Amino acid sequence: MSDDTLSQLVAEAIAHHISPLVRWLYAVFTAVVVGTAFVVGMVYEVKYGITDAKRDAGDAKATAVSALQATTDLRTTVTGHDRDIAVLKFQRGGE
């Protein structure tokens, strides 16, 4: 057996046994990259979700304040109309 044949057999044996390990390492590396991208995506989604929720809460608070002001204005208007109706009834003779 020549040295070339022996070297070729050893190289083929090493390649045969290392090939699954290299494929496994590529698979692990790919899984780590995909997992990291997934986690980073979730973090950004949660971060922007919180930002959106804060903005929506601010909008809701502004709407609530506006509704309270409108209610106060309406209450004042109703009170004024009640007073006007009472005066008109008094002027007509207490119907």
Question: Tokens 């980073």 — which residue?
Answer: 40
Query: Dihedral sign, CA of 10, 15, 18, 20?
Result: negative
pLDDT in tens, the chain (95 residues): 566 788 888 888 888 888 888 899 999 999 999 999 999 999 999 999 999 999 999 999 999 999 999 999 888 888 888 888 888 888 887 55
Question: How far is the first Cα of the chain from the last one, in angstroms, to the nearest whole number?
Answer: 130
Supply the pTM of this predicted model.
0.52
